[in-house]
Amino acid sequence: MKRATTLFAAAGTLGSALTLGPAPAHADTVTPDIAAIGTIVTASTGLNTRIGPSSASSRIGALTNGTTIAISCRVAGEFITGSVTNTGYWDRLADNSFISDAFVQRESTDIPKCATTAIAIPAVSGIWMLPVRAGLVSGFRTVERPVHDGVDLGAARNTAIRSASAGTVIRVVCNVSRGSCDVDGSRSLRGCGWYVEVQHADGIVTRYCHMIRQPSVAVGQVVGRGTVLGHVGTSGSSSGPHLHFEVHVGAPATRANAVSPIDFMSAVGLTFGSA
Ligand SMILES: [Zn+2]
DSSP string for 95-141: TS-EEEGGGEEE--PPPPBPPTT-PPPPP--S----SS--EEEE-SS
Amino acid 57: pLDDT: 75
User: Taking a C-beta distance cutoff of 8 angstroms, is the pair 267, 260 a contact?
Assistant: no
**Cα 139 from Cα 141, distance rounded (Å):** 6
Amino acid 271: pLDDT: 94
Amino acid 118: pLDDT: 56
- The phi, psi pair for 41, rounded to 5°, reads -125, 105
| This prediction's pTM | 0.64
Amino acid 44: pLDDT: 80
CA of 211 to the centre of ligand 1 (A): 12
**Beta strands 135-138 and 151-153, pairing class:** antiparallel
CA of 135 to the centre of ligand 1 (A): 13
Amino acid 123: pLDDT: 81
CA of 194 to the centre of ligand 1 (A): 13
Residues of the chain with pLDDT under 50: 1-31, 275
| Best CA proximity match to 65, nearest among 84, 92, 87, 46 | 46
How many C-beta atoms surround the C-beta of residue 218 within 10 A? 10
Q: What digits encode the pLDDT tens for the residues 168-180?
A: 999 999 999 999 9
Amino acid 210: pLDDT: 97
CA of 137 to the centre of ligand 1 (A): 9
User: Taking a C-beta distance cutoff of 8 angstroms, is the pair 179, 213 a contact?
Assistant: no
CA of 152 to the centre of ligand 1 (A): 5
CA of 15 to the centre of ligand 1 (A): 10
Chain centre to alpha carbon of residue 70? 25
CA of 8 to the centre of ligand 1 (A): 7
CA of 219 to the centre of ligand 1 (A): 23
User: Taking a C-beta distance cutoff of 8 angstroms, is the pair 26, 59 a contact?
Assistant: no
CA of 88 to the centre of ligand 1 (A): 28
CA of 256 to the centre of ligand 1 (A): 17
Task: List the domains of the chain with CATH numbers.
Answer: 7-27+122-274 (2.70.70.10), 36-106 (2.30.30.40)
**Beta strands 135-138 and 273-274, pairing class:** parallel
- The phi, psi pair for 111, rounded to 5°, reads -95, 130
User: Taking a C-beta distance cutoff of 8 angstroms, is the pair 49, 91 a contact?
Assistant: no
Q: Amino acid letter at 55?
A: S
